[in-house]
Amino acid sequence: MEQTDTQSTVDRIKQQISENPILLYMKGSPKLPNCGFSAQASQAIMSCGEPFAYVDILQNPDIRSELPKYANWPTFPQLWVEGELIGGCDIILEMFQQGELQPLIKETAEKHKVDEDNAE
């Protein structure tokens, strides 16, 4: 029984990552973050000016326990872009300060806007 619970959580994680080109796993929400690291990370991503998805791991204890194993990354927040783990707060802020985060977020958002237009 337990195996399927773990499996379905991992499947949900994979689905979230594949369906959301820009995805932040965090504590709380971008408007009401529940930890300083999540607050800083979501601020940096928000200031790139593109919409992004987020999952509040405090509301999803199963994801909170499984994602670090799946991602091989022990802490939150975690930023995923196009199915790739970018990293946590330190990496997000460093990329932001070096001007690397903004083009990554913008280009990803643009690319997926185009996909949506083509889908119709």
Residue 48 annotated as lining a ligand binding site: no
Residue positions counted in the chain:
120
Listed in sequence order, the residues at least 6 apart from 75 whose beta carbon sits closer than 8 Å to its beta carbon are 37, 68, 88
Residue 90 annotated as lining a ligand binding site: yes
Residue 37 annotated as lining a ligand binding site: no
Tokens found for residue 5: 């619970």
Residue 76 annotated as lining a ligand binding site: yes
Round to whole Å and give the CA distance between 93 and 103.
14
Residue with tokens 């195996």: 3
Residue type at 38 in one-letter notation = S
Determine which helix (DSSP H) or strand (DSSP E) holds 78, and give its type and residue range: strand 78-81
Q: Which residues sit in the known binding site?
A: 27, 35, 64, 76, 89-90
Q: Which residues sit in the known binding site for [2Fe-2S] cluster?
A: 35
Q: Which residues sit in the known binding site for glutathione?
A: 27, 64, 76, 89-90
